Amino acid sequence: MTEPAGGSIGKSSSAITEKNTPTETEVDPADEGASCLPGPSCSNIESQIKTELSLLEMYIPHGPGKLRNRLKECALDWTPVTEVWPNVFLGNEETALDRAMLKTMGITHILNAAEIEVDLHANIIPRELHYQGMDITYYNVPALDEDMFDISEYFFPAAEFINKALSNPENKVLVHCVQGVSRSATLFLAYLMIQHDIMVENAIDHVTGVRWISPNMGFLKQLTALNSTLVEKRKLQLREQLKRGNEDTEKPIPEPQESKQRIEETVIHLKHCLQKCTLDQTSATEVWPSVVIGDEHTAMDRAKLKQRGITHILNAAAIKHNLMASLGMPRKEDLLRKVKTGAQYYKGMNITYYGVPVVDDPLFDISKYFYPSAAFIHQALSEPENKVLVHCSDGVSRSPTLFLAYLMIHRKMSVEDAIGHVLKVRCIWPNLGFLKQLAVLNSKLACQQ
Q: What's the mean per-residue pLDDT of the chain?
A: 82
Average pLDDT over residues 395-408: 96
Give the amino acid at 350.
Answer: N
The string of pLDDT tens digits covering residues 346-363 is: 988 999 998 888 989 898
CB 385 within 8 A of CB 350: no
290: pLDDT strictly greater than 80: yes
Percent of the chain with pLDDT over 70: 79
CB-CB contact of 319 with 333 (8 Å): no
- Active-site residue, 36 included: no
- Please report the domains of the chain, with CATH numbers, ordered by start residue: 44-234 (3.90.190.10), 263-328+337-447 (3.90.190.10)
Query: How high is the pLDDT of residue 107?
Result: 97
* Size of the chain, expressed as the number of residues it contains: 449
Higher pLDDT, 264 or 73: 73
Alpha-carbon distance 56 to 241, whole Å? 15
Q: Assign 3-state DSSP to the chain and report helix, strand, coil percentages, each to 5.
A: 50, 10, 40
Is the confidence at residue 33, as pLDDT, over 50?
Answer: no
Provide the pLDDT confidence category of residue 26 given band limits of 50, 70 and 90.
very low
Residues of the chain above pLDDT 90, percent: 56
Mark out the alpha helices in 129-286 (DSSP H runs).
155-166, 183-195, 200-208, 217-244, 247-250, 260-275
For every residue of 300-333, DSSP letters joined together read: H-HHHHHHHT--EEEETBPPP--HHHHTT---HH
197, burial (CB in 10 Å: exposed 0-12, middle 13-18, buried 19+): buried
- The pLDDT of 90-117, averaged and rounded, is 93
d(CA 241, CA 263): 28
Q: Is the pLDDT of residue 299 over 90?
A: yes
pLDDT beyond 70 at 120? no
Distance of CA 275 to the CA centre of its chain: 29
The band of 53, judged by pLDDT with boundaries at 50, 70 and 90, is confident
> Ranked by mean pLDDT, which of 166-170, 221-225, 262-266 comes out on top?
221-225
**What pLDDT is attached to residue 126?**
62
Catalytic residue among 74, 177, 392, 427: 392
Lowest mean pLDDT among 11-20, 121-130, 363-372: 11-20
Q: Is-contact 84 211, C-beta < 8 A?
A: yes
Average pLDDT, stretch 69-90?
94
Q: What is the mean pLDDT of residues 23-32?
A: 33
Residue 25 has what pLDDT?
29
Indicate the pLDDT class of residue 253, thresholds 50, 70 and 90.
low
The 8-class DSSP code of residue 37 comes to E
Burial level of 93, CB count in 10 A (0-12/13-18/19+)? Answer: middle
Residue 224 binned pLDDT confidence (cut-offs 50, 70, 90):
very high
pLDDT band at 198 (very low <50, low <70, confident <90, very high): confident
Q: Report the pLDDT value the prediction gives residue 24, as an integer from 0 to 100.
A: 32
Residue 258 confidence (pLDDT) above 80: no
pTM of the model: 0.62
Query: In the chain, how many H helices and how many E strands?
Result: 18, 11
Q: For residue 189, which phi and psi values (nearest 5 degrees)?
A: -60, -40
Confidence of residue 11 (pLDDT cuts 50, 70, 90): very low
Round to whole Å and give the CA distance between 282 and 27: 33
Cα–Cα separations (whole angstroms), residue 366 to 55, 193, 240, 417: 31, 30, 24, 20
Using CA of residue 227, residue 229, residue 230, residue 231, what is the dihedral sign? positive
Q: What pLDDT was estimated at residue 156?
A: 96
Cα distance between residue 113 and residue 151, in whole Å: 10
Q: Residue 313 in contact with residue 319, Cβ under 8 Å?
A: no
Lowest-confidence pick of 12-26, 357-371, 401-415: 12-26
What pLDDT was estimated at residue 324? 35
pLDDT at 206 over 80: yes
Q: Which residue has the higher pLDDT, 255 or 114?
A: 114
If we measure between CA atoms, which residue out of 51, 15, 35 comes closest to residue 353? Answer: 35
Mean pLDDT to the nearest integer, 212-227: 97
What would the pLDDT profile of 140-183 be if each residue is shown by its tens digit? 999 999 999 999 999 999 999 999 998 888 899 999 999 999 99
d(CA 351, CA 353): 6
